[in-house]
Homo-oligomer: A and B are copies of this chain.
Amino acid sequence: MTTKAHCLALDAQDPLAHLRADFALPEGVIYLDGNSLGARPVAALERAREVVDLEWGDGLIRSWNSAGWRALPERLGNKLARLIGADEDEVVVTDTTSINLFKVLVAALRIQAQRDPARKVIVSEASNFPTDLYMAEGLANMLQQGYSLRLVQSPEELPEAIGTDTAVVMITHVNYKTGYLHDMAGLTALAHECGALTIWDLAHSAGAVPVDLKAANADYAIGCTYKYLNGGPGSPAFVWVSPDLRDQVWQPLSGWWGHARQFDMESHYEPAPGIGRYLCGTQPITSMALVECGLDIFAKTDMQALRRKSLALTDLFIELVRQRCATHPLTLVTPLEHARRGSHVSFEHPEGYAVIQALIERGVIGDYREPRIMRFGFTPLYTSFSDVWQAVETLGEILDSGTWQQERFRVRNRVT
């Protein structure tokens, strides 16, 4: 039996417990949805005031220089690089994950078209985050050059699916539904053996699990800053490209910010050397500036410490659900094996949608993903072990009492 006292003891020993004070979490809420929108760093409120009042209001156009707006994509990229195993000047923060995926996918296909034009297949998972599949579909649809998607139903099918016809393997490192953590180094090696390039979507892994792009010999990576990195709602995404590939081709979204000489206002495009060529148009500075508040908290710890706590939190959650909710039809979807588990845990329940609504009403915020999946994110920067205890206790009460069966919890009007 794991007890509440044990959870409180874990909190008392938690070397990361002090970092919770860096976040402004509302009273009465246990937030297990940081994998969808990270909590607000305390510092973000004052930073927003600075950007809006001083930099925009007083500095006006001068702030492009004086407040360092021009250098934000690179400055933030450098702070983020250490979390994903990239080096200095290899990452920029810009645009959205979808847009960045489009850039790297076109770049990868162009390189493959030079190497072996017969490679026309993009391999991915059917359960990949839909927008990644949609972007690939939109690209194939536009190019009309015979590109197609090959979607596997489970990670085990990937080796079989990658072959001599494969241009790109496009995988979300941690699956958004199941929490399955792919073997980045192993899959990349397999793809390379077959002559394919790899694109890693780090949406659910940057800031959540240790990522080492360079050690894994990865080719391209994109990801989002508003989940585990706590950058703020819809804050700009990031992109990394292996230095070996970076300067070989243009990415197609060739806006002014990616030009080799941005302010010469030439009428022809010449891509900047380095990762700068993956920039495009003018960025939303207020949203972008707040990303730094989230990244600065990561500088107080390291991904190994975060990973240890993440696994302890998800282990505890799985154990407590089994202990407290054993009589209910809950099926664990997330791998038990540590090496294959991200930082969120998903359970199927036949009425998962209604159960999640009932939980949210009680202040335990997880989310729901089709079909039947209740998803709970564990963010070691601010989730405590007693949060986990209280969340499972509330889940147990809701399941036991059947309150989730009330009509109001079944009406689908949510957007998350």
Query: Interface of A with B (CB < 8 Å)?
Result: 24-26, 29, 31, 33, 36-37, 39-40, 44-45, 48-49, 51-53, 55-58, 60-65, 69-70, 95-99, 102, 106, 110, 126-128, 130-131, 133-135, 137-139, 141-143, 151, 224, 226, 232-237, 250-256, 259, 262-269, 280-288, 290, 360, 365, 367, 369-370, 413-416
Contact = CB atoms under 8 A, between A and B. Distances in A.
B134 A69 contact: no
Nearest to A139: B252
B60 A141 contact: no
A48 B40 contact: no
Given A131-B256, A135-B255, A280-B96, A52 B45 contact: yes
A131 B283 CA distance: 14
A413 B263 CA distance: 10
Contacts of A24: 53, 57
Nearest to A235: B284
A138 B233 contact: no
Contacts of A56: 37, 40, 44, 232-233
12 contacts: A26-B58, A26-B60, A60-B365, A97-B282, A127-B267, A138-B253, A143-B143, A232-B285, A234-B284, A234-B285, A236-B284, A284-B287
Contact of A280 (B58, B99, B250, B254): B99
A65 B414 contact: yes
Contacts of A142: 106, 110, 250, 252
B283 A134 contact: no
Residue of A31, A287, A414 with most partner-chain B CB within 10 A? A287
Contacts of A110: 142
Residue of A39, A56, A264, A360 with most partner-chain B CB within 10 A? A56
Contacts of A64: 415-416
A137 B255 CA distance: 10
Contacts of A281: 95-99, 131, 237
Contacts of A255: 96, 98-99, 131, 134-135
Given A98-B280, A137-B254, A287-B288, 5 more contacts: A62-B365, A65-B413, A96-B281, A143-B143, A233-B286
Given A142-B110, A290-B286, A133 B49 contact: no
A253 B250 CA distance: 17
Contacts of A264: 370
A144 to B, nearest CB: 9
Nearest to A263: B415
B135 A254 contact: yes
Nearest to A134: B269
Contacts of A55: 233
A95 B94 CA distance: 11
Residue of A49, A142, A284 with most partner-chain B CB within 10 A? A284
Contacts of A131: 255-256, 281
Contacts of A61: 33, 36-37, 365, 367, 416
A99 B288 CA distance: 17
A415 B265 CA distance: 12
A286 B283 contact: no
B44 A52 contact: yes
A295 to B, nearest CB: 16
B151 A267 contact: yes
A138 B252 contact: yes
Contact of A259 (B130, B151, B268): B130
Contacts of A288: 234, 284, 287
A267 B130 CA distance: 5
Contacts of A57: 24-26, 39-40, 44-45
B287 A250 contact: no
A414 B233 CA distance: 31
Given A52-B40, A134-B255, A252-B142, A282 B106 contact: no
A141 B250 contact: yes
